[in-house]
């Protein structure tokens, strides 16, 4: 699980990266832009 401290410490790097959280959520950190949360979408099982 991501903590506030980990999120605050996330800084842009040469390449984009993701920090994983519980339940399949990610924090996307691009090279030179704002950090944004990502919620993956899965195909419906119906």
User: Can you spell out the DSSP letters for 3-36?
Assistant: -HHHHHH----SS-EEEE-GGG-EEEE-TTS--E
- Per residue in 1-46, pLDDT (tens digit) is 888 999 889 888 889 998 888 878 888 888 877 777 777 776 666 6
State the pLDDT at residue 5: 94
Q: Half-sphere exposure of 9 toward its Cβ, with a 13 Å CA cutoff?
A: 6
State the pLDDT at residue 15: 92
Question: Would you list the domain boundaries of the chain?
Answer: 4-38
Task: Answer yes or no: pTM beyond 0.85.
Answer: no
State the pLDDT at residue 42: 67
Q: Is the dihedral of CA 34, 9, 30, 24 positive or negative?
A: negative
């Amino acid at each position: 699980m991501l903590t506030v401290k980990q999120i605050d410490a996330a800084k842009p790097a040469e390449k984009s990266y993701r920090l994983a959280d519980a339940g399949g959520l990610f924090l996307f950190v691009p090279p030179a832009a704002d950090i944004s949360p990502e919620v993956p979408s899965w195909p419906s099982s119906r």
